[in-house]
Amino acid sequence: MNEKHPMDYLLREDRIPHIWCPGCGIGSSVSCFIMALEESGLDLKKVAVVSGIGCTGRVAGYVKLDSFHTTHGRAIPFATGLALANPDLKVIVYSGDGDLIAIGGNHFIHAARRNVNMTVICINNFLYAMTGGQVGPTTPLFAKASTSPYGNFEQPFNLVHLAAASGAVYVARWTALHLRRLTKAMVEAFKKKGFSFIEVISPCPTSYARRNRLGDGLAQMKFYHDNSIIRHGADPKDTDIGFQTKIVVGKFIDKERPDHYTFMTQELEKVTGGKK
Amino acid sequence: MSNDREILTGEHFMNGNVACAEGAIAAGCRFFAGYPITPSSEIAERISERFPEIGGIFIQMEDELASMCAILGASWGGVKSMTCTSGPGFSLMQENLGLGVMMETPCVLVNIQRGGPSTGLPTLVGQQDMMQARWGSHGDYEIIALCPSSPQELFDFTIKAFNLSEMYRVPVLVMGDEVVGHMSERVVIPPKEKIKLLPRRMYTGPPEEYLPFKPDKDLVPPMVIAGEGYHIHITGLTHDEKGYPEISAEAQKKLVPRLVNKIKKNADKIIEIEESNTGDAEVIVVSYGISARTSLRAIELAREEGIKVGMLRLITVWPFPEKRIYQLASKVAGFVVPEINLGQIVYEVERAAKGKTRATLVPHAGGHIHDPKDILQAIRSTLK
């Protein structure tokens, strides 16, 4: 049993076992992430991962890269400072839906608007998992959570629509079942200059599935298998997710727009003559 | 590299906020993130104008939570970083000020204080955030805070703040106020070679031996930055020397007392005060910021009446010079503490005096500086 797993060199073995529950999709997404890092040929010295708080927030603690586990909701502004201070870094924000879109929602739309150089990977498990399954900004209508015991009666955000409308240059959605496609999306996103966004629909058997009687992690994967519709180039506004409805997945946006750092420094150079 | 736009050596007539921005530039600050707020905005405006010619990055963030967080990220990216704000923004920055303390991140936060609470007096002076500076973020920690009394000191102390933040790996606060920020006076910017800058304490050994939170003798760990192959993990959770989260009473006991003690045990090296005529004083005025300057007139008037009044001006408010206050306490009839609030630092003076003498507050609710006569009256009453 002394054989090394081929991914071990990118994981902090001394931090394993991880905290994620059986059937959780975060670990699968991390496998994709590591494969994507390998495939993209990025200089691993120059890759930094920034997380917020929550189950997905713990990703930063397991990858053997420069990694920062910040405050709740603040991964994106921390990453903004890091990316601007050292433009040679490939900065990846890896966090959950509550962290990035509720408490951190304002930072999310503004980083997309600015087109800051970063890839944001959002694991969407439809609620606050780490704190015990409370309702969140992506909880589907009528789904139950520990603070919506009778069902959620607030319209959720459609994250890919939000990202696209805010100005992201790359927007994709996959589920924790679509490992090869998710890996490919990550590779594409890493190559993109500017703000790229990937939503990963992920099972939370412990909170979301249990409370809504959806079975175990495998049952949720089966659900993704039967109900995901791949529709590349779909208009993000037509991709809302309801409670146990079809899930439209695919690459929705892949466009060019000057990234914040390049645009700002070029224009400042023109106007002021740059550094004297 | 040096260029003559980096340090505007010479004599200037400038306001405190502009002087603060020039101090930051002279200290080598090349990243600024902030959010507009009166009465601090001239700092951001000056920086946004000056940074392009010296290769700095200015970004106006979406709020103060983001601003504080962005300067932490930039510091880990290897660039000296700063933000500035006032009252309501200072409240929002407390969250990530705590993260900066926990991640031991050098950076500078300037608070040009206005009257509060809440939106309070956006355009008028206050000194009401002094205890918030000390205790504003949750949990136990120690912080360094400096109090400038003039535009010149906003220049000088901003440089000092950067040096202290690099030396002790802690966010350093410059606690200015609206009057000091907005008054224009002579500011002398020295030649580059006369400005003493402390470099970041970097670790340069092999990555496999590096422990990001293993302290040196003075309890401060050497730092590395992102992108150099050290593969650091840095978290706001309680962590071990490797930087890995460890949620236990033992880990907490090892980490948090060190974060506190790296300031407490080095307090004698950090603390700076300015004393005048304290040797034979019957009464000592203890003050800071603009109120220390208002006090000078009161002291002059008291001396005309034959009262022996001394002055102790706090340059470093946190850590507090409690030893010196205690030494002086047994020699005087009392301390008089004018501050533009309803009592904050006066309680610290009282605590440090340990009952040896009394401390009399000269309060002001904010919106204006003191009338020196009120301070004079307190000096007189101390001798009754």
Instruction: Assess contact for A91 and B73: CB atoms under 8 A.
Output: no
Q: Which three-class secondary structure state does DSSP give residue B284?
A: strand
Cβ burial of B170 (10 Å; 0-12, 13-18, 19+) is buried
Q: Does A87 sit behind a cis peptide bond, omega within 30 degrees of 0 on the bond before it?
A: no
CB A74 to CB B229 under 8 A? Answer: no
Kindly identify which residue of chain A lies nearest to residue B33, measuring between CA atoms: A81
Tell me which amino acid residue B279 is.
G
CATH number given to A8-272: 3.40.50.970
Out of A65-69, A97-101, B3-7, B9-13, least confident range? B3-7
- pLDDT for res B3: 55
What range does the domain containing B374 cover? 274-382
Residue with tokens 């929550």: A54
Asked whether residue B94 is domain-assigned, the answer is yes
The number of domains in chain B is 2
Q: How confident is the model at residue B1 (pLDDT cuts 50, 70, 90)?
A: very low
Indicate if B279 and B179 belong to the same structural domain: no
What distance, in Å, lies between the first and last C-alpha atoms of chain B? 61
Torsion sign, CA atoms A152, A155, A160, A166: negative
- Torsions phi, psi of A12, nearest 5? -85, 90
Residue B144 has pLDDT above 80, yes or no: yes
Annotate A9-43 with DSSP letters as a single string: GGB-GGG-S-SPPTT-SHHHHHHHHHHHHHHHT--
Supply A16's token pair: 């394993």
For residues B59 and B22, give the distance between their C-alpha atoms in angstroms, rounded to a whole number: 17
Indicate if B187 and B288 belong to the same structural domain: no
Kindly identify which residue of chain A lies nearest to residue B51, measuring between CA atoms: A275
- pLDDT for res B353: 98
For residues B33 and A51, give the distance between their C-alpha atoms in angstroms, rounded to a whole number: 20
Put simply, whether B17 touches A (Cβ < 8 Å) is no
CB B79 to CB A86 under 8 A? Answer: yes
Torsion sign, CA atoms A13, A15, A19, A20: negative
For residues B367 and B170, give the distance between their C-alpha atoms in angstroms, rounded to a whole number: 31
| pLDDT tens digits for range B24-75 | 999 999 999 999 999 999 999 999 999 999 999 999 999 999 999 999 999 9
Kindly identify which residue of chain B lies nearest to residue A265, measuring between CA atoms: B52
Put simply, whether B227 touches A (Cβ < 8 Å) is yes
Supply B28's token pair: 């080598």
Asked whether residue B23 is domain-assigned, the answer is yes
Which among A14, A81, A86 has CB closest to B227? A86
- pLDDT for res A8: 85
Asked whether residue B164 is domain-assigned, the answer is yes
Residue B2 has pLDDT above 60, yes or no: no
Residues of B in Cβ contact (< 8 Å) with A64: 231
Indicate if B185 and B314 belong to the same structural domain: no
For residues A93 and A78, give the distance between their C-alpha atoms in angstroms, rounded to a whole number: 10
**What averages of pLDDT result for each successive group of 10 residues across chain A (276 residues)?**
77 91 96 96 97 95 96 98 98 97 98 98 97 97 98 98 98 98 98 98 97 96 98 98 98 98 96 85
Question: Closest Cα of chain A to B63: distance in Å?
Answer: 9
| pLDDT tens digits for range B238-263 | 999 999 999 999 999 999 999 999 99
The continuous run of DSSP H or E covering A199 comes out as strand A195-201
- pLDDT for res A1: 54
Tell me which amino acid residue A249 is.
V
Domain spans, chain A = 8-272
CATH number at residue B171: 3.40.50.970
Of B194, B213, B230, which one is at a domain's C-terminal end?
B194
Q: Is B202 left (phi over 0), alpha (psi -120 to 50) or beta?
A: beta
Indicate if B167 and B296 belong to the same structural domain: no
Name A137's Cβ contacts closer than 8 Å, sequence gap at least 6: A97, A98, A101, A102, A105, A156, A157
Q: Which three-class secondary structure state does DSSP give residue B339?
A: strand
Asked whether residue B315 is domain-assigned, the answer is yes
Residue of A138, A252, A142, A238 whose CA lies nearest to A197: A252
Residue of B90, B103, B107, B85 whose CA lies nearest to B38: B85
- pLDDT for res B67: 98
Burial per residue of B363-374, b for 16 or more beta-carbon CB atoms within 10 angstroms, e otherwise: bbebeebbebee
Asked whether residue B98 is domain-assigned, the answer is yes
Q: How many residues does chain B have?
A: 384
Put simply, whether B58 touches A (Cβ < 8 Å) is no
Question: Closest Cα of chain A to B146: distance in Å?
Answer: 25
Indicate if B38 and B156 belong to the same structural domain: yes
CB A82 to CB B245 under 8 A? Answer: no
Indicate if B28 and B147 belong to the same structural domain: yes
Residues of B in Cβ contact (< 8 Å) with A82: 73-74, 76-77, 226
Annotate B357-373 with DSSP letters as a single string: SEEEEEE--SSSPPPHH
Indicate if B160 and B280 belong to the same structural domain: no
CB A77 to CB B67 under 8 A? Answer: yes
CB A85 to CB B31 under 8 A? Answer: yes
Residues 230-269 of B with CB under 8 A from A: 230-237, 244-245
Asked whether residue B212 is domain-assigned, the answer is no
CB A81 to CB B53 under 8 A? Answer: no
| pLDDT tens digits for range A41-89 | 999 999 999 999 999 999 999 999 999 999 999 999 999 999 999 999 9
Put simply, whether B180 touches A (Cβ < 8 Å) is no
Name B234's Cβ contacts closer than 8 Å, sequence gap at least 6: A67, A68, A69, B76, B103, B212, B243
Q: Does B319 sit behind a cis peptide bond, omega within 30 degrees of 0 on the bond before it?
A: yes
Asked whether residue B222 is domain-assigned, the answer is no
Supply B375's token pair: 């301070």
Residue with tokens 């020397």: B241
Residue of B227, B233, B192 whose CA lies nearest to B211: B233
Torsion sign, CA atoms A247, A248, A250, A252: negative
Q: Does B39 sit behind a cis peptide bond, omega within 30 degrees of 0 on the bond before it?
A: yes
Asked whether residue B107 is domain-assigned, the answer is yes
Contacts 24+ apart (CB under 8 A), A256-260: A256/A169, A257/A115, A257/A167, A257/A169, A257/A194, A258/A115, A258/A193, A258/A194, A259/A115, A259/A116, A259/A117, A259/A169, A259/A193, A259/A194, A259/A195, A260/A84, A260/A114, A260/A115, A260/A116, A260/A117, A260/A194
Helical residues (DSSP H) of chain B, grouped into ranges: 16-26, 41-54, 64-76, 87-102, 130-135, 151-168, 178-182, 249-264, 267-270, 289-304, 322-329, 345-353, 372-382
Q: pLDDT averaged over chain B? A: 97
Average pLDDT over residues B327-353: 98
Indicate if B70 and B159 belong to the same structural domain: yes
For residues A208 and A104, give the distance between their C-alpha atoms in angstroms, rounded to a whole number: 21
Put simply, whether B57 touches A (Cβ < 8 Å) is yes
Indicate if B32 and B180 belong to the same structural domain: yes
Q: Which of A50, A51, A66 should one mutate to test binding to chain B, selecting the residue with the greatest count of B CBs within 10 A? A: A66
Question: Closest Cα of chain A to B225: distance in Å?
Answer: 9
Kindly identify which residue of chain B lies nearest to residue A54, measuring between CA atoms: B237
| pLDDT tens digits for range B268-319 | 999 999 999 999 999 999 999 999 999 999 999 999 999 999 999 999 999 9
Of B194, B211, B239, which one is at a domain's C-terminal end?
B194
